[in-house]
């Protein structure tokens, strides 16, 4: 074929697939195997997106950018270079060269500001000397407020704090300009300068290379212009206008309430398409947004550990929302705490269980006013159980609309080409009006330009199709060549929802060109590829698995893949005894197995072709003999969670292995000697507590990731780890027996992440660690035997995060230079010998010094504009200077010497979390800032008084605060959204009370009113550091919905009786004639002695 013709066909097909994928994507993005988080449809926290939710409508804008600058400072240098870079990137900006300056802004300047998508403010030393510049800034900030214009400040040789507080040379120039001006005018200027100084922008002092800063500015502006370009998806998809009209009524965007909306319909009907189109249309109107795809497949419930799955699900959502990799949470109240004041747009795609919603959007109050949460599901019960009444039910399109959908993919237009009318109607009828089938068939006929081609295909189609989707899909499958058919089966049975690079690695020996084959499948709309992830629709995957089942209906051993747990049991047990078994892949989840997985020691002996083995966590439901005598030499993926044997078979050769994934295994070692493992790229043995020996890695030249976290019996790593020259990530956390690292670690120069946290026996790091200059994350937290650090750590010029938490033997002064410009997170908490504040760069965002002997911070720290998290030890100097940290949102001041918190705490107007646990001499708390959302005051055993008039919207932990006076206790119970505090009996004013854990409430048809729950919990063992999880179940005669509320004890045991108060999410319970509440505590060390309910609006606060 002519290469130009081939290229044209490929491009056309790719465009067709892209349109299809935008419309029918329904699978959630998995976390990238390489630990870098997968791309997500979430709002960014970058400078541009954080400065404004959106720019003015593109259709109304004349310019991309309006620049405001002081010509004498920057016109001939910085701005001229920015102009040139803008021109190179096709960014149009307003030019005022021919406009004469006057006393007031000319109308064309005002029009240009309003007609620009972005405003860039170049704040230089003499910017405030120009009344013209100041008036421009006032107008710009007005447009930011009224038109959602994006404003981007550039601080050129000036400090943001000088601009905000009008100090230094900048303030001096401003005061000179204000001379002779009216108070009203100067106040407008002052407010505009203060506001623009709080916007995250670019600071020239942080850049060694001005050209690099200019390139970054232009690149960011260009990227934001592309991201905010209007989407045509709503207009291009047939029937979308009608769906949008219905959804707009349900969304009611003008309302400030938090609203949850469901999109209901069968698989393949277009629910995800509608949700995606709405997300692209409206996400810019919200402060933060996220599209969580394919939740049902990625986070199935029920599962073995529902709570862990919920934690994982919420962690991923928060990672996407805040564009922050690897967020890990310990309880489900985190989302509620972090998102309560954020205006959110959240799409939860393909939900099938209410517990998934409990993890992501349990109640409306988790989110800020005006938030919208959209869920797509096939199960109406999920929406009803989550009390979602705003539902858009998506039905099958009419025959006319179905024809239009088909034509869009077959002809690229909404109607058949001349002469194809009857043929198009026939195919549409056979597709069953299911949008997915219409797209698949349309893609198949795309490019067939003659009636003869269509007529030749139609008889076969007509004879084989009964109108059901399976037949439609089979028709397109049969049109594939043999190799592409095989690839389709591999994806359907084993590699759906996988990173494309992993699939290529695994299948490189099976197909001549994996990537090309995937592109063919995508062109045929049989899979989609989005930002590197392979997706196959559920219907297509089921269809592919059915093809495999029919390869041998009564002989599963003769099929290519085993995906049914019961059949896997049959194959791996003694009950199956035919000859050679042709299986190349086994994918078996423990939940598919009833009664356990029974295997004999020769279970895999006949599987000479097995390449991919994935067995979910079967422990303790897998039953094996004392040894496993054989594993196929052909294995490329060995994925066995909870592997029960102490070693792999002695005759196993890992020559073809690409990945070995065996977390929580019983392994003591893998194999003997130096094996050929050149193909091996990833090794996971997390929490394999018996693992004592890592195999020789001399041949592991392609190893990319090694995870040995929690391998508590591991004493050393092999010196051959230095041969793993492509090693990128090494995780050794909780390897409590590990004494040292081999010096050869320094030759792993591509290493980026090294986690040694809680390696309590680790004595030293080799000096060669300084050669790993690509390290971005070094975690030594909890290395309690570590005495000193090698000075070579100062060579790690790319380090972003450095943790030395609880390294109590690290000596003073810190024997290493950590003044890297790259450093963002520094955790020295618990380094009790440290007295001197180390020299660090001002880019730090999170700084933890609690538990050190540091008593003085550098005066410059108050101007660190990036610092938002601060944990400090007690000292008089520190306590009196904390008010200067006006950007801090999270403050930890935990020290037994603290007797009081001064009035300075009230001045921290951005503070959202305050932790003062363990302040045993603290007697009273002063007035707290209104911004506070969480207060951790556990084990403040002398605390008596709270001087605040209200703790409205605050969650508080006062565990073990036994001296709290009656007034303080009343305030906590009355105003906190949830709280724990000592108590021996239920407050008398609770209307419904009962002894024990069960309570009957007679609502008698009251209006829906929020309820406050209270339980008196008793620690049966007297000392427990476990988390306090309180569950309650509401029975209304027919159903029982289990809810979960929680307070987390991080450091101290909760002793004796305590009261736990919390709000009941289900307001409608008051409307019922009667309901039974059952309360329980997850940890059996606790019991519920009394329980009670009260109407929030009817408190009679007399205890």
199 pairs with which residues across the strands?
none
Phi, psi of 389 (to 5 degrees): -105, -15
> How many Å apart are CA 1025 and CA 167, to the nearest integer?
50
> How many Å apart are CA 528 and CA 1009, to the nearest integer?
47
φ/ψ region of 88 (left if φ > 0, alpha if ψ in -120 to 50, else beta) reads alpha
Catalytic residue ranges:
136
8 Å CB contact between 583 and 610: yes
List, in order, residues 6 or more apart from 198 with CB less than 8 Å away: 160, 164
As a 3-state breakdown, the chain gives helix, strand, coil percent values, each rounded to 5, of 35, 15, 50
3-state secondary structure of 991: coil
Kindly state the tokens that stand for 264: 């209901």
3-state secondary structure of 1019: strand
> How many Å apart are CA 1015 and CA 990, to the nearest integer?
11
**Strand locations in 113-231, DSSP E?**
116-123, 150-155, 202-203
> How many Å apart are CA 657 and CA 678, to the nearest integer?
9
957 pairs with which residues across the strands?
936, 980
3-state secondary structure of 752: coil
Among 382, 366, 337, 394, smallest CA distance to 259 is for: 366
Three-state SS across 274-288? HHHHHHHHHHHHCCE
**Strand locations in 69-165, DSSP E?**
116-123, 150-155
> How many Å apart are CA 209 and CA 256, to the nearest integer?
45
Kindly state the tokens that stand for 362: 């349990």
What order of strands is seen across the sheet that includes strand 116-123? 63-68, 116-123, 150-155, 202-203
3-state secondary structure of 869: strand
> How many Å apart are CA 228 and CA 49, to the nearest integer?
10
Give burial (CB, 10 Å; 0-12/13-18/19+) of 66: buried
Phi, psi of 957 (to 5 degrees): -120, 110
Among 378, 270, 448, 338, smallest CA distance to 45 is for: 338
Up-side HSE of residue 199: CA atoms within 13 Å toward CB? 28
Phi, psi of 793 (to 5 degrees): -60, -25
Say how many C-beta atoms besides its own lie within 10 A of residue 466's C-beta.
Answer: 10
Kindly state the tokens that stand for 47: 């400078």
The interaxial angle of helices 399-410 and 421-430, nearest 10 deg, is: 110
> How many Å apart are CA 758 and CA 444, to the nearest integer?
57
Using CA atoms, how far residue 354 sits from 38, 337, 403, 1032, 1033, in Å, is 25, 21, 36, 15, 14
8 Å CB contact between 1015 and 1033: no
Among 753, 788, 747, 786, smallest CA distance to 769 is for: 747
Kindly state the tokens that stand for 881: 């200077």
8 Å CB contact between 958 and 1032: no
Say how many C-beta atoms besides its own lie within 10 A of residue 409's C-beta.
Answer: 22
């Amino acid at each position: 074929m002519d290469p130009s013709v081939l290229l044209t066909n490929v491009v056309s097909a790719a465009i067709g697939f892209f349109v299809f994928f935008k419309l029918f994507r329904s699978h959630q993005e998995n976390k990238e195997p390489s630990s870098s988080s997968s791309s997500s449809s979430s709002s960014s926290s970058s400078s541009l997106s954080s400065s404004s939710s959106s720019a003015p409508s593109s259709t109304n804008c004349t310019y991309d950018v309006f620049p405001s600058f002081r010509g004498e400072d920057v016109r001939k240098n910085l701005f001229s270079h920015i102009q040139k870079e803008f021109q190179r990137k096709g960014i149009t900006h307003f030019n005022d060269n021919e406009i004469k300056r006057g006393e007031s802004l000319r109308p064309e300047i005002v029009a240009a500001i309003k007609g620009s998508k972005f405003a860039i403010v170049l704040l230089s030393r003499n910017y405030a000397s120009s009344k013209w510049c100041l008036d421009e800034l006032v107008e710009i900030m007005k447009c930011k407020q009224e038109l959602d214009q994006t404003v981007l400040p550039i601080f050129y040789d000036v400090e943001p704090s000088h601009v905000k507080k009008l100090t230094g040379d900048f303030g001096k120039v401003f005061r000179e300009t204000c001379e002779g001006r009216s108070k009203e005018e100067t106040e407008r200027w002052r407010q505009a300068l203060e506001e623009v100084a709080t916007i995250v922008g670019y600071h020239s002092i942080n850049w060694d290379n001005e050209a690099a800063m200019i390139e970054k500015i232009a690149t960011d502006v260009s990227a934001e212009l592309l991201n905010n370009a209007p989407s045509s998806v709503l207009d291009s998809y047939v029937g979308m206008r009608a769906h949008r009209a219905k959804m707009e009524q349900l969304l009611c965007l003008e309302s400030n309430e938090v609203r949850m909306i469901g999109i209901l319909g069968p698989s393949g009907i277009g629910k995800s398409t509608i949700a995606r189109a709405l997300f692209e249309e409206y996400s810019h109107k919200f402060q933060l947004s996220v599209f969580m795809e394919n939740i049902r497949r990625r986070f199935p419930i029920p599962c073995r550990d529902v709570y862990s799955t919920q934690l994982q699900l919420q962690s991923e959502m928060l990672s996407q929302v805040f564009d922050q990799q690897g967020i890990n949470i310990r309880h489900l109240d985190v989302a509620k705490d972090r998102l309560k004041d954020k205006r959110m747009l959240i799409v939860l795609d393909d939900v099938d269980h209410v517990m998934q919603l409990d993890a992501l959007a349990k109640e409306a109050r988790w989110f800020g006013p005006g938030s919208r949460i959209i869920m797509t599901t096939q199960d109406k019960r999920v929406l009803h159980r989550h009390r979602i009444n705003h539902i858009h039910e998506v039905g099958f399109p009419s025959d006319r609309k179905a024809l239009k959908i088909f034509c869009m993919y077959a002809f690229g237009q909404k109607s058949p080409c001349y002469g194809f009318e009857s043929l198009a109607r026939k195919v549409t009828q056979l597709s069953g009006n299911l949008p997915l089938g219409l797209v698949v068939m349309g893609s198949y006929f795309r490019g067939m330009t003659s009636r003869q081609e269509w007529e030749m295909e139609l008889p076969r189609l007509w004879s084989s199709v009964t109108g059901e989707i399976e037949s439609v899909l089979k028709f397109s499958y049969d049109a594939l060549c043999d190799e592409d058919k095989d690839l389709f089966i591999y994806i359907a049975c084993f590699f759906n929802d996988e990173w494309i690079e992993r699939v290529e690695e695994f299948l490189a020996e099976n197909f001549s060109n994996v990537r090309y084959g995937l592109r063919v499948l995508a062109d045929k709309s049989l899979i989609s590829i989005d930002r590197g992830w392979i997706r196959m629709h559920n219907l297509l995957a089921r269809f592919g698995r059915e093809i495999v089942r029919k390869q041998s209906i009564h002989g599963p051993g003769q099929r290519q893949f085993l995906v049914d747990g019961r059949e896997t049991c049959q194959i791996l047990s003694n009950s199956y005894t035919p000859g050679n078994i042709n299986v190349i892949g086994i994918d078996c989840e423990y939940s598919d197995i009833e009664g356990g997985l029974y295997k004999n020691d020769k279970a895999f002996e006949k599987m000479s072709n097995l390449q991919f083995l994935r067995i979910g966590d079967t422990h303790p439901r897998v039953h094996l003999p004392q040894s496993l005598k054989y594993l196929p030499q052909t294995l490329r993926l060995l994925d066995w969670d909870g592997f029960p044997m102490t070693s792999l078979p002695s005759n196993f050769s890992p020559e073809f292995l690409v990945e070995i994934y065996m977390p929580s295994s019983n392994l003591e070692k893998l194999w003997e000697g130096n094996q050929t493992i050149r193909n091996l790229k990833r090794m996971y043995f997390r929490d394999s507590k018996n693992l004592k020996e890592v195999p020789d890695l001399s041949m592991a030249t392609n190893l990319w990731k090694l995870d040995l976290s929690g391998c508590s019996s591991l004493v050393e790593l092999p010196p051959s780890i230095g041969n793993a020259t492509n090693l990128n990530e090494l995780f050794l956390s909780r390897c409590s027996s590990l004494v040292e690292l081999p010096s050869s670690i320094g030759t792993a120069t591509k290493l980026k992440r090294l986690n040694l946290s809680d390696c309590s026996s680790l004595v030293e790091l080799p000096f060669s660690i300084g050669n790993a200059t690509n390290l971005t994350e070094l975690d030594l937290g909890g290395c309690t035997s570590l005495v000193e650090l090698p000075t070579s750590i100062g060579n790690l010029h790319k380090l972003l995060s450095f943790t030395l938490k609880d390294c109590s033997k690290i000596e003073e002064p810190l024997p290493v230079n950590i003044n890297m410009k790259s450093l963002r997170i520094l955790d020295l908490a618990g380094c009790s010998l440290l007295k001197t504040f180390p020299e660090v760069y001002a880019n730090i965002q999170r700084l933890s010094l609690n538990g050190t002997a540091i008593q003085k911070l550098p005066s410059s720290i108050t101007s660190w504009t990036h610092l938002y998290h601060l944990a400090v030890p007690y000292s008089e100097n520190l306590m009196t200077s904390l008010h200067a940290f006006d950007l801090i949102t999270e403050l930890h001041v935990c020290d037994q010497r603290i007797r009081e918190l001064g009035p300075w705490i009230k001045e921290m107007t951005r503070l959202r979390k305050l932790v003062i646990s363990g302040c045993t001499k603290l007697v009273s708390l002063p007035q707290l800032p209104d911004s506070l959302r969480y207060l951790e005051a556990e084990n403040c055993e002398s605390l008596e008084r709270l001087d605040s008039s209200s703790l409205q919207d605050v969650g508080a932990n006062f565990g073990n605060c036994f001296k709290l006076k009656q007034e303080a206790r009343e305030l906590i119970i009355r105003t906190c959204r949830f709280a724990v505090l000592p108590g021996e009996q239920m407050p008398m004013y609770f209307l419904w009370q009962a002894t024990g854990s069960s309570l009957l409430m007679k609502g008698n048809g009251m209006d829906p009113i929020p309820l406050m729950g209270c339980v008196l919990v008793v620690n049966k063992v007297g000392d427990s550091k476990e988390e306090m999880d309180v569950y309650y179940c509401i029975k209304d005669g027919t159903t029982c919905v289990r809810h979960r509320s929680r307070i987390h004890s991080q450091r101290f045991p909760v002793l004796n009786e305590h009261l736990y108060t919390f709000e009941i999410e289900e307001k409608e319970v008051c409307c019922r004639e009667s309901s039974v509440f059952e309360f329980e505590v997850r940890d059996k060390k606790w019991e519920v002695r009394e329980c009670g309910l009260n109407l929030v609006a009817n408190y009679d606060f007399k205890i």
